[in-house]
Amino acid sequence: MKILLANPRGFCAGVNMAIESLERALELFGKPIYVYHEIVHNRPVVDRFRKLGVVFVDDIRDIPSGSVVLYSAHGVAPAIRQLAAERHLRAIDATCPLVTKVHLEAVRFAREGYTILLIGHEGHDEVVGTMGEAPENIHLVQTVEDVDRLPFSSESKLAFLTQTTLSVDDAEVIIRALRRRYPRIQGPSRDDICYATQNRQEAVKELAPEADVVLVLGSQNSSNSMRLAELASACGKPAHLIDSADQIEEDWFTGTETVLITAGASAPEENVVECVEYLKKALRCRSRKPNHSRGACQFSFAPRITRRLRNLTDSRIHFFSAGFSSRGGFPKRCRNRLIACNTFGLLISHRSKRRRPGKSTSMIPIRIVNTP
């Protein structure tokens, strides 16, 4: 039997950033470190950090006053930041910058008087955080049927945003329905669905026809991993969403010649390797890595900022505020937006399809803001 390894797969830049932030926080502050919600939606990753002394909570009020708290990659609502400040928590914000982009768009549309239709899944941590930016202005839309039930007239001042981890195809169906019913509806200047979600879905679409069975590494509460499994099923292939090789059942591969393995953006590569080794040993498989990789993106640490943070481990709260600009400086919409200690000062480098290989945008400028 042959193994196809989808490329790209696994950790995206935002997940890498959040995990590295938590590892760095443990080094600097020691345990316990509290994390509001799961750092990423992946059971093996969460279990590993629990063993290192990380405490995951779903209520910010469960964290002792004065403790260190890290916000997950999915982002949080302003009300959570306010509660953290009232409890004198030292906050580290590991929100993915692409999620922060959606938050800023929600704030802008609300300020301009729009009613916002957020395309996403009810209860998902990212959706909860985005809706918290303008709760009186945002309505959740999950399906085309929800579009038909909206109470607004065609002349209403509407805008739409999307959760970053949706199926590209499913989101496009809903967006088309919104545009048909509301021709004047406004959308974001650039797609909200993140590059990693899109690229991993494209890889599965391209490779699924060559496979008989698809294995998706990821947890059941991972939106982007679920979308990969659903996409493989839509291509007519049996798809299994698993956390690790322990969940593989050999009868899945009866009469199978080729298995495609991919991983959601929150699934670690070691779990993929574990599955490949298991299949090689149990079923005498051989592996092939297709040449399918595009849209590389990395959020990396600024060493100078990290060195400065090492001296800030007392009870004072220090924040880093990052502006998103390819030419440097802080855009007006970001200047008054405080992003709490955005992963110890980050630089972002993004290689887009429109740029020549090796060329990237300028680094995001970082500034430190001291608070009482």
**So which residues are the catalytic ones?**
126
Distance CA 241, CA 232 (A): 11
Pairing between β-strand 158-162 and β-strand 239-242 as defined by DSSP bridges: unpaired
Rounded-to-5 percentages of helix, strand, coil across the chain: 40, 20, 40
Two tokens at 279?
A: 């299949």
Q: Compute CA distances 130 → 90, 220, 245, whole Å.
A: 22, 22, 34
Pairing between β-strand 68-71 and β-strand 54-57 as defined by DSSP bridges: unpaired
Give the list of residues 6+ apart from residue 269 with CB closer than 8 angstroms, or none: 9, 10, 11, 263
Distance CA 97, CA 226 (A): 22
In three-state secondary structure terms, 10 is coil
